[in-house]
Amino acid sequence: MILGGVLLTYQEFIQNILDTRGRFACGDEYHERHHIIPKCMNGSNEKENLIDLYAREHFIAHKMLADENPDNDGLILAYTCMAFIKRDDTERYELTPEEYEEVRIIHAKTISRRHTGEGNPFYGKYHTEETKQKIVEFNSGRVYSEETRKKMSDSLSGENNPMFGKHWSQQQIENMKQKMNGENNPMFGISPQERMNEETYKQWKVHLQESNKGKNNPMFGKHHTEESKIKISEAKKGVTHSEETKKKQSDAQIKRYANPEERKKQSQRMSGENHPLYGQHHSKETKQKISFSKSGCNAKHTNPIINVDTNQVYYSSAMAGNDVDIDPSSILKCCKGIYKNSGGYNWKYVYDYITKDGEAIPGAITLGIITEEEVLIQLNIIKGD
């Protein structure tokens, strides 16, 4: 190492201090005791192996030892400890930004080397099932404070994140998926309720609900763009569960609700004040939205019928036929454009009708014969003003 324009080895650096100042001659100024031959290299606590050094001298001594012994992890870690570990009873040397960066790089490389492959203390070992269960129980339902969560978040945000500016390759992503799929997943077949005791599970549920409610919800006040909606739609198209997955989901639900006690608990969770809509009522607008989503082309089994001549709306052709005493099938044929009229009346579907061939037959709303709100009022889905 170059000090004062002179290239010195560690031994020369120590000897120079012994020759110019002496072994224990730092006086009242802050200093630290140093082993000339480090203890990890079989150095003793004898007087001849000790020397008092000022804070900067002590840091330089350990840097020299680390530089001259790059394969000795003990000396390298001792050097990094000089930089990072602070105690109330010490006045450690304050590093320059350049020195700090150098120490961080050396520390990271050493830790990585010590924990890779056979260097990892857990190399070739596996947790027993008992140990895994203890770890699960210890971590189950743990709820961190807002302050702790923020510290954890900040420590891994932006440039602090070890993956900052990096991206997993497609092959790495596939490998990780395979390692965590099915029975390889340590949580495979274990529900949150099974992993926690009853009290912890309740706390976890409350925390989960509160953390995603209102302004805490990451989507609060936001809406998916049309582009995002299309992407989500495309990603889910053609995705089907395997028969094995379907059976597992079915078995899990059957097992869950086969127990009368579980059914009772589920009922209690959604009863009275526990119900998310307790004490609330749908607005007129919400009722209309619900109705629209289940009406016309959106309905699974029915499209209301309108008598164009009387402007009367019916839930079905059967109800219409019963009212005017004609065959319901002839009303349907009129709605589909096969007949011009039925029973002397002109009939239309309220909503557009799509034939098996994909042809769209405009409904009464599309044709401007009636508004959707008027339809809903007639069917008593909403009340008129």
Tell which wins on pLDDT, 117 or 374: 374
pLDDT band at 369 (very low <50, low <70, confident <90, very high): very high
Contact by Cβ (8 Å): 261, 355 = no
Q: What would the pLDDT profile of 216-264 be if each residue is shown by its tens digit?
A: 888 888 888 888 888 888 888 777 788 888 888 888 777 777 777 777 8
**What is residue 236's predicted lDDT score, i.e. its pLDDT?**
80
Torsion of CA 49, 52, 55, 58, to 10 degrees: -20
Tell which wins on pLDDT, 246 or 85: 246
Lowest-confidence region among 43-52, 202-211, 313-322, 340-349? 202-211
Return the closest-CA partner of residue 366 out of 346, 350, 343, 377: 350
Residue 331 has pLDDT above 70, yes or no: yes
Length of the chain: 385
Burial profile 365-383: b = 16 or more Cβ within 10 angstroms, e = fewer: beeebbebebbbebeebee
**Nearest-angstrom CA–CA distance, 334 and 97:** 85
**Nearest-angstrom CA–CA distance, 34 and 14:** 10
Q: Tell me what the mean pLDDT of segment 79-85 comes to.
A: 78
Q: Could you tell me which residues are beta bridge partners of residue 50? A: 35
Among 84-88, 265-269, 292-296, the range of highest mean pLDDT? 265-269
Cut 0.85: pTM above it: no
Lowest-confidence region among 150-154, 229-233, 256-260, 286-290? 286-290
**What is residue 52's predicted lDDT score, i.e. its pLDDT?**
93
**What is residue 295's predicted lDDT score, i.e. its pLDDT?**
52
* Residue tagged 């099932």 (tokens): 129
Share of the chain above pLDDT 70, in %: 90
**What is residue 297's predicted lDDT score, i.e. its pLDDT?**
43
How far is CA 276 from its chain centroid?
A: 24
Q: What would the pLDDT profile of 8-43 be if each residue is shown by its tens digit?
A: 899 999 999 999 999 998 888 888 899 999 988 999
**Nearest-angstrom CA–CA distance, 236 and 168:** 23
**What is residue 308's predicted lDDT score, i.e. its pLDDT?**
94
Return the closest-CA partner of residue 347 out of 298, 311, 299, 374: 311
* Per-residue tokens: 351: 């909503």
pLDDT band at 382 (very low <50, low <70, confident <90, very high): very low
**What is residue 300's predicted lDDT score, i.e. its pLDDT?**
44
- Structural domains of the chain sorted by starting position, each given as residue range(s) with its CATH number in brackets: 2-118 (no CATH), 286-378 (1.10.10.10)
Q: What would the pLDDT profile of 111-146 be if each residue is shown by its tens digit?
A: 787 778 887 878 888 888 888 888 888 877 677 788
Q: Could you tell me which residues are beta bridge partners of residue 313? A: 306
Tell which wins on pLDDT, 331 or 379: 331
